[in-house]
Structure 1
Amino acid sequence: MNWSRKAGLLPHEWFFGAFLVILWVRLAMTVGPSDHDSLLYLALILTNTSVIAWCRLRETTLSWRCRLWFYAVVMNVAFMNMKSSVMKVNSHKWDEMLAGFDKALFGAILSVRAQEVVTPVLTEVLSFCYLMFFPYLMISWFYYAYRGLPLFRKLMVGMFTIYGLGFLGYSFVPAGGPHLAYPGEFSVPLTGWVVTRFNALIVEKGSNGVDVFPSLHCAISCYLLFFDRLHTRWRHRLYLVPCVGIWCATIYLRYHYFADLLAGFALAAFALWLTSRWGNSSFEISKPPKS
């Protein structure tokens, strides 16, 4: 079954669209359709539908690029909005359940166990790795956009499948992470220097407070790393060590539970399978693109 040809939608449009629709329905049923968050998600759904419809009516390189880049914009809008919307449809956060998984496996929250290896130098290095996620993501968008539409489309299919399913996870299993939910469990402070302080500020100001399960830092970086392995080996070699650092940093810096990492890696594996399954041949433009 070829989703893009039979239904006019790419796989990530199903998954990210499902996130938008499900959260909108939950908001409309909980706080009413006139609530400002409900109206925002309705507007995003209608805009998404319009962009796809425009692209299908006029398949050009420009319309396809707008259709793909749209998700980079709406992802950021939805992420920041979840600080307000997600707790309107949930009665509590799920840190206790996620921490319980850690305790069942390790006898304590894994971040608490990691205190044994805390040093200022390691904190500085892993804070740098954690920050590397953002340039890795943005550079990847522009690099593969430059490589041509078929490969860029393949990248975005997997990436925004991850974001759609990951945001569903945030909306159904909101959590703040060990550093917010269990600060009293930590007896060793994370001290470092400029990078450590900058990273802590970015997380404090940029987090929406529910962005824990699954770990999208792990999911997206893992997906990009193995996407690079398939398509650009030099990028895979360049980012291999920083990506491993990102994965370690999620626990060491006390942002995530072990279950978050497992879910993130599972999402990455699914997205890589999906892009392999649908491949470039499944995403051919039905008409020659016009300049």
Structure 2
Amino acid sequence: MAVKLFERVESGKGLFAVESISLIYNALTSLLILLLFPRMDHPGVMLLERAGIVALTFGLIALYQTFPCRLTAFVRMAVQMSLLAYWYPDTFEFNRLFPNLDYIFATVEQGLFGCQPSVEFSKHCPSIWFSEPFNMGYFFYYPMILVVTVWYFLTHFEWFEKICFVLVTSFFIYYLFYILVPVAGPQFYFPAIGMDKVNAGIFPPIGDYFNWNDYLVPGPGYDQGFFYQLVEASQEVGERPTAAFPSSHVAISTIVMIMAWRVSRKLAAVLAPFYVLLCCATVYIQAHYLVDSLVGLVSAFFVYQLATLMYKRWFISPVFRLMG
């Protein structure tokens, strides 16, 4: 393993595909900051953070050119993927300025199902036997991504750049949508309007309420459970009233399952239970409306094809190759 990690590759002078798309997203959102500058909470800080990300990207390129091997290639990719933890809550800094649209989605949900599935699901299945498996599935969202990307790195290094690009590009496609379509999800919207209105099927618009309020109440389920508390802790750190429609948890995990299936049926079989639990959990913990999760599932196949097409058109030649 150590020999493969330090196996020399062509250093090149260009950006990896995932770095290119990250810089494009960085530039697009920077332009949006400049356009919305007077209305934003801390636009100067956001622009400085983006400049720092650019500097980090080119610093890692310099490191790779000095030590061109699989390990430094992995570090360059991994850093861009880890920055998704920054880009996700960043969407809230934009969509908080626009009128919230949850009332539309809650009304659609009520019309389609005659109830709010996120409320009924957790109400009828509150025990530890449901709560813990669903929270476990939800918590394993990022570990699933990590497992599949590392699997490609170790077993199919020639495809590693492509799958990193497809994953990060898929995230960015959804993030751009979240910026323009501000939906917070039941866990934020229902406490804001009160459960008496939810139970009565009344879903009033709340305008820019979330521009001033982002409090997240504890989720439903068995609150003494180990995975319940892990999910609660992670949401307290990184969750914002943003990115509900469509569910990126369902969409990205579906894309991850496609990638796993294409490289290893056994890997896909191992991940499948976590995937099913995760999809159920998005509604169970009230992070999403059921329509969010269904659209996330369907859209995943289109987004996967779009990101793959972008890679083929723009980056068909691998940036790095093993030196003979």
TM-score, normalization by structure 2: 0.72
2:190 is the counterpart of 1:157: no
2:116 is the counterpart of 1:109: yes
Aligned-pair identity (%): 18
Q: Post-superposition shift, 1:100?
A: 2.5
Cα contact 1:159–1:271 (8 A) shared by 2? no
Look up the match of 1:128.
136
Q: Matched residues in 2 for 1:119 and 1:34: separation?
A: 42
Q: 1:284 to 1:19 in 2, by over 3 A?
A: closer
Counterpart residue identity of residue 83, structure 2: V
Q: 1:122 to 1:287 in 2, by over 3 A?
A: closer
Counterpart residue identity of residue 103, structure 1: Q
Which runs of 4 or more aligned residues in structure 1 lie more than 6 Å from their structure 2 counterparts after TM superposition? 8-11, 51-59
Q: Which of 174, 179, 202 is matched with 2:182 structurally? A: 174
Q: 1:108 to 1:11 in 2, by over 3 A?
A: farther
Q: Matched residues in 2 for 1:41 and 1:180: separation?
A: 28
Q: Matched residues in 1 for 2:105 and 2:64: separation?
A: 43
Q: Matched residues in 1 for 2:319 and 2:66: separation?
A: 11
Cα contact 2:16–2:161 (8 A) shared by 1? no
Cα contact 1:154–1:275 (8 A) shared by 2? no
Q: Matched residues in 2 for 1:74 and 1:173: separation?
A: 22
2:92 is the counterpart of 1:91: no
Q: Post-superposition shift, 1:123?
A: 1.5
Structure 2 residue ranges without an equivalent (≥5): 1-13, 200-218
Q: Matched residues in 1 for 2:281 and 2:43: separation?
A: 41
Q: Matched residues in 1 for 2:261 and 2:33: separation?
A: 40
Q: Post-superposition shift, 1:43?
A: 4.1
Q: 1:123 to 1:217 in 2, by over 3 A?
A: same
Cα contact 1:61–1:149 (8 A) shared by 2? no
Cα contact 2:15–2:61 (8 A) shared by 1? no
Q: Matched residues in 2 for 1:235 and 1:97: separation?
A: 39
Q: 1:10 to 1:227 in 2, by over 3 A?
A: same
Q: Which of 14, 25, 44 is matched with 2:31 structurally? A: 25
2:257 is the counterpart of 1:249: no
Q: Post-superposition shift, 1:249?
A: 0.7
Look up the match of 1:146.
154
Cα contact 1:103–1:109 (8 A) shared by 2? yes
Q: Matched residues in 1 for 2:322 and 2:73: separation?
A: 9
Counterpart residue identity of residue 117, structure 1: H
Q: Post-superposition shift, 1:175?
A: 2.9
Q: Post-superposition shift, 1:46?
A: 6.2
Q: Matched residues in 2 for 1:82 and 1:140: separation?
A: 26
Q: Post-superposition shift, 1:266?
A: 3.8
Look up the match of 1:285.
318
3-state SS of 2:260 partner = helix
Q: Matched residues in 2 for 1:117 and 1:25: separation?
A: 47
2:85 is the counterpart of 1:76: yes
Q: Post-superposition shift, 1:135?
A: 1.6
- Structure ID, larger Rg: 2
Cα contact 1:15–1:165 (8 A) shared by 2? no
Equivalences, count: 279
3-state SS of 1:119 partner = coil
3-state SS of 1:212 partner = coil
Q: Post-superposition shift, 1:96?
A: 1.7
Q: Matched residues in 2 for 1:173 and 1:65: separation?
A: 34
